[in-house]
Structure 1
């Protein structure tokens, strides 16, 4: 039996919902047929303690090892801990590739430096976010970006804006970065009438106009703005409901805001769910008011489900617009109210899978692309 290519995937965490979309993206790739049954052997390293749920059983069944550095510090102390603990971890390990993933520049850079100074032959820096920075922070980041030339060997990003946010201008201008889409299992999200009827009956949504959102409760996802918009929409539509899926640090403050506005009966907090694909069948439209995004994988999922979508214009349009049913609107309460007013309850929600395949978001073809890249980096491509 030929020796497998050993790849270490590193990010803040691998717990669904708590770790953000990166965990879902990596899980989608590693369990796709092109990688799951290939010459690649994946191990997973979380910077902080994680339960790895609900992925643990599936990862271990594929022979993957799960490791945690147990880092809980912040700021400069966190970066120091990442460097020394990663180097200590890698000292006794033999990996062909270390694939680092983050939505924070300093964290991504430090993971790469730790791996490169540990003697790893191929270090991949993978940007998953586009950051809004103050002028002072931008100056600091511009000074740090050139360090990626020596800290990493390959540069991946989920969108051009994510690449520009993290990597030096030379990498972008010379087209040295690789687009790795946040691909999904399209068939899992395709519209299913039976699922829609079942879920709407289960949650008593049969006669409601359900506006849905999926995302962590943090500043980036902009829930407070969404609640302000919905407050006005609900005055115009008695049948309107807002479904919020996810957890996060700001969840309680948003609940308090909902209660203050007298919307407790109309805003449903679903918590963290493993059936987002089914919940999307129960929705009538999808909203995504993020202040910034590297991509926004749920926008691809919502389009696969055939939902009409109102999105912030702060997400990368070129990479996220797969169908004609997504509309990008500036973050103005009045403009969002007007856009939502124009959405009807139902329409034909069947989509052609080939549309998503051509855009690169079908997971099997995307995973095959990543497999070939891994093989090329290790000089063992079949």
Structure 2
């Protein structure tokens, strides 16, 4: 047992910003179960402003360092800034970079700083909706950098691994698959909540079909699709309310477009919501029409809540947790088919919590169990970290 005379081993996570995105929430789910007497997480963020999880990180003894992104600082300055933090604030046992195609530069900086374990992590299956030839060539260059300077590769799923590291690495099983685990205890507790009471708490209407969506307001999430779908629903006799939870750079634009389409009473913008398990209990169906994704944590959370999920076919089949809750549709199939599938989904019988827990645990989505695998990647024993 650490009596205070032994310093904890430190791991530095490199992220765009610790807001409530899927990758960031996945990290926090494991961080909360880490024995911080022996292992401590620090973070490099590309956002100068305080992000959603920053206060909790600091409360738990972690540190958040600001480093401007490559686009703002330039490539050489970016590498130097990370290297300097590793040297001045370390020593670090491992660096874990979550910035997809930029992770190779972080791995290079960590190698220059003498960090022994350098993990590059893929959280997406694409990085642009319609990549050009130049984008593809850039990706190949970035991939070479990642493979040259990392000591370990990690991905949230098979498709995400193929995208960033290449099919050859996946065939050789050289990539650690670390599913976006969640805290199952929180979803078990939420399962017993009163749906009507939680609806009142969030200001969600009764006696109407609630279509839920949780996600940052970025282009890949395809919020405009849901606005036009709402316009279509208004022409039917189906009483509905769409609930958006999340924030992001495009939120104001989406709110203005909703108002211009006359949807003020039909769409509720909640902003950042801390208690996602409780919010999920207010939804009748979860809809996610993304243009591309990795393996979105929110879809794991939705299925952990027993929610039927209607998603775009751009989202990997790996998101189906075997509970019969997920249906993938093409974005070009027409709103009529989306309406039919949603109407059918809300009539589905909710699986039991025992079935949900068994399915998620069997498929590797328990954050507590995943922590041991993460520590192994860092060459830190489970006894040290828990």
- Number of the residue aligned with 1:374: 378
What is the DSSP-based 3-state SS (H/G/I as helix, E as strand, rest coil) of the residue aligned with 2:186? helix
- Number of the residue aligned with 2:338: 336
Closer, same or farther: CA 79–349 of 1 in aligned 2, 3 Å:
farther
Closer, same or farther: CA 275–315 of 1 in aligned 2, 3 Å:
same
In 2: Cα distance, 1:297 partner to 1:369 partner: 18
What is the DSSP-based 3-state SS (H/G/I as helix, E as strand, rest coil) of the residue aligned with 1:328? strand
TM-score, normalising length: structure 1:
0.89
What is the DSSP-based 3-state SS (H/G/I as helix, E as strand, rest coil) of the residue aligned with 2:286? strand
The alignment of Structure 1 onto Structure 2 pairs a total of residues equal to 371
Structure 1 portions without partners, runs of 5+: none
Closer, same or farther: CA 210–116 of 1 in aligned 2, 3 Å:
same
Range with greater deviation from structure 2 (316-325 or 115-124) = 316-325
After TM superposition, give the deviation of residue 47 of structure 1 in Å.
2.7
After TM superposition, give the deviation of residue 136 of structure 1 in Å.
2.4
What is the DSSP-based 3-state SS (H/G/I as helix, E as strand, rest coil) of the residue aligned with 1:36? coil
String of CA shifts for 1:250-300, please: whole Å, max 9, x gaps. Answer: 222222222222211111111111122211101110001100001111000
Q: Which of 154, 167, 174 is the aligned partner of 1:176?
A: 174
After TM superposition, give the deviation of residue 166 of structure 1 in Å.
1.2
Contact 2:69/2:78 (CA < 8 Å) preserved in 1? no
- Number of the residue aligned with 1:96: 93
Closer, same or farther: CA 48–251 of 1 in aligned 2, 3 Å:
closer
- Number of the residue aligned with 1:46: 45
Contact 1:280/1:305 (CA < 8 Å) preserved in 2? yes
Q: Which of 58, 61, 83 is the aligned partner of 1:63?
A: 61
What is the DSSP-based 3-state SS (H/G/I as helix, E as strand, rest coil) of the residue aligned with 1:74? helix
- Number of the residue aligned with 1:200: 199
Contact 1:294/1:315 (CA < 8 Å) preserved in 2? yes
Contact 1:122/1:377 (CA < 8 Å) preserved in 2? no
In 2: Cα distance, 1:377 partner to 1:79 partner: 35
Closer, same or farther: CA 181–204 of 1 in aligned 2, 3 Å:
closer
- Number of the residue aligned with 1:244: 244
Structure 2 portions without partners, runs of 5+: none
- Number of the residue aligned with 2:316: 316
After TM superposition, give the deviation of residue 169 of structure 1 in Å.
4.1
2:6 is aligned with 1:10: no
- Number of the residue aligned with 1:356: 360
Closer, same or farther: CA 193–345 of 1 in aligned 2, 3 Å:
farther
- Number of the residue aligned with 2:265: 265
2:105 is aligned with 1:110: yes
In 1: Cα distance, 2:149 partner to 2:373 partner: 24
String of CA shifts for 1:47-106, please: whole Å, max 9, x gaps. Answer: 33242444524x34443223222x16627x543432121122223221111111123x1x
After TM superposition, give the deviation of residue 163 of structure 1 in Å.
1.1
2:208 is aligned with 1:188: no
Contact 1:284/1:346 (CA < 8 Å) preserved in 2? no
After TM superposition, give the deviation of residue 170 of structure 1 in Å.
3.7
- Number of the residue aligned with 1:120: 115
Contact 1:375/1:381 (CA < 8 Å) preserved in 2? no
User: Please, what is the CA RMSD of the aligned residues?
Assistant: 2.4
In 2: Cα distance, 1:184 partner to 1:199 partner: 21
Contact 1:125/1:155 (CA < 8 Å) preserved in 2? yes
What is the DSSP-based 3-state SS (H/G/I as helix, E as strand, rest coil) of the residue aligned with 1:206? coil
